[in-house]
Chain A
Amino acid sequence: MVKTLTSNYESEKPIRTYEEINEKIKKGDAVVLKADEFKRLVKDRGVEAVAKEVDVVTTGTFGAMCSSGAVINLGHSDPPIKIDKAWINDVPVCHPGAAVDLYIGATQMSEVKPFEYGGGHVIEDLISGKEVELKATAYGTDCYPRTRLETTLTKYDLNQFYMLNFRNSYQKYVCATNSRDVTIYTYMGKLLPHYGNATFSGSGELNPLINDPEYETIGIGTKIFLGGAKGYVIGEGTQHDPKNQMGTLMVKGNCMDMDPKFVRGAAITRYGTSIYVGLGIPIPILNLKIAKNAAVTDEQITVKILDYGVPRRDRPILGEVSYRELKSGKIEVLGKTVKVSPLSSLKGAVEVAETLKKWIEEGLFYLSKPVENLPRDSVFKPMKEKAIMKRIV
């Protein structure tokens, strides 16, 4: 017991501080490695030696993140309107607050081209500088008399254009396959009958949260790469499930500075529209423990293989597989070799980590210390339903 305490103390002994790292970034001497480079170096030279030399490890992921969207403020029309319902490029946008604040939800679909064009595409188009069409209706009040509005806008006409995502960047995710006799189209992609293929999401050892599983450096206020611009973690995401290594993040960033290369509208056949978001987090190597955690490799990260042919909350578990196997392109499902597709862009994830590394090396990005840590013991509960509804199902 005493020995364990000593060794924990030893591994948490500070090697460097945020301030020291930022000072090195300022001077242009910070040693920054992408997560994959860091792991390779640890394998060659051992974690103790590498932890002494490397200041920051950059991570990245670029995948479908449905619980994403953007807040926009339109400014006031004359006469003014307190919007009740609104559409951008025929996609219904939510009006959650005061007169001219709107939230563009990534999964909202066009009423004219459903399943093809949605909120994610609107956000991508706006970031690209394209002109979009806004239509709005209102019930009219003494102070906001206008009841109809039609105009065209680009991002330069907006007062604010923030990405505000309430669940992004899963620590890791499941692998999906399909036992049914027919092809199914799910949020985990197209799944062929009789376990004909499998899909997985996330970038494994490059994923941000998996490299800091105890959330020691990632918390409220952590500065991150979001969609090609600087963004911030503003809390744990919805459905944050730390005990099952399925932590999530709530994040915010300024869309005005984002790059459409890292923010892409998506149309997932027969599921709906979504958005692919590039997200990367720098992990400061403050002590040996953090270095050891960031040395985790694809072989050590395992996920469950679930049967998406069974459309229930608890899907049958068919096995467990590592990200190394998943990234090899083939896995075993019930004794059968099955081809497997990533759904997140691994190439995109590397580009995110690479870009973030470059920003830090060039002194364009400094690290911020979280003001509060993410919860490590919260629980992801199922929905409370009326007993009678369960019987109907």
Chain B
Amino acid sequence: MVKVLLKFHGGLMNEPITSTVILEKGVKLNILKASIHEKGGEMLIEIPDVFAENVIEAFKSKGVEVVIKRTISVDSNRCIHCGACLSLCPVNVIKMSSDYSIIFDEDKCVACGLCIDACPMKAISLVVF
């Protein structure tokens, strides 16, 4: 499961955005925490790994700010660029460049953690902000 914080700013308060995304994507979300204040609202949700990229995009397209609470960190001293992690990433954050280097686009990482135990060098860890 991927944990993300949704920030609903001012004008979005009157629309049933979360329900729309759930129905559109046919996804079951866990709502862990929700709060409303004068400037908008915040909601902490969990998304099943395979839906993560789609659901995050859907919220963003409706003007919701999405903050991913965690990401992976790669220890470059341990990584030997084997690529054991490559086929496990559901959102294609991990890529192999033309010189066979393994590159992580950490900004796009949804912190599902699937790659972590695939690493034989134990070079990948989750970082919580």
Contact = CB atoms under 8 A, between A and B. Distances in A.
B118 A189 contact: yes
A134 B66 CA distance: 52
Contacts of B93: none
Interface magnitude class on chain A: 20 to 34
B69 interface: no
Contact of B84 (A116, A342, A349): A342
B117 A345 contact: no
B101 interface: yes
B87 A266 contact: no
B67 to A, nearest CB: 28
A53 to B, nearest CB: 26
B100 interface: yes
Nearest to A346: B100
A330 B113 CA distance: 21
Interface in A320-361: 329, 338-350
Given A199-B87, A339-B87, A341-B86, A348 B80 contact: yes
Given A276-B82, A348-B82, A350-B99, A192 B88 contact: yes
B120 A190 contact: no
Contacts of B86: 329, 339-342
Given A189-B118, A269-B117, A347-B101, A198 B83 contact: no
Nearest to A350: B100
B121 A197 contact: no
Nearest to B78: A264
B85 interface: yes
B120 A267 contact: yes
Interface string A185-212: 1000110100001110000000000000
A274 interface: yes
A341 B99 contact: no
Contacts of A268: 120
Interface in B71-113: 80-88, 96, 99-102
Interface magnitude class on chain B: 10 to 19
A347 B88 contact: no
Contact of A62 (B80, B85, B99): B80
Contacts of B121: 264, 266-267, 276
B82 A342 contact: yes
Most buried by A among B87, B100, B118: B87
A63 B85 CA distance: 15
B84 A189 contact: yes
A106 interface: no
B101 A266 contact: no
B87 A347 contact: no
A266 B120 contact: yes
A338 B100 CA distance: 19
A369 B96 CA distance: 37
Contacts of A198: 87
18 contacts: A190-B84, A197-B87, A267-B121, A274-B120, A276-B80, A276-B121, A329-B96, A338-B87, A340-B87, A342-B86, A343-B82, A344-B82, A345-B82, A346-B83, A346-B100, A347-B81, A347-B102, A350-B100
Given A190-B84, A329-B96, A341-B83, 4 more contacts: A192-B87, A267-B121, A341-B88, A346-B100
| A-B complex: 6 closest residue pairs judged by Cβ atoms | A197-B87, A339-B87, A347-B100, A266-B120, A341-B87, A346-B100
Interface of A: 62-64, 116, 185, 189-190, 192, 197-199, 264, 266-269, 274, 276, 329, 338-350
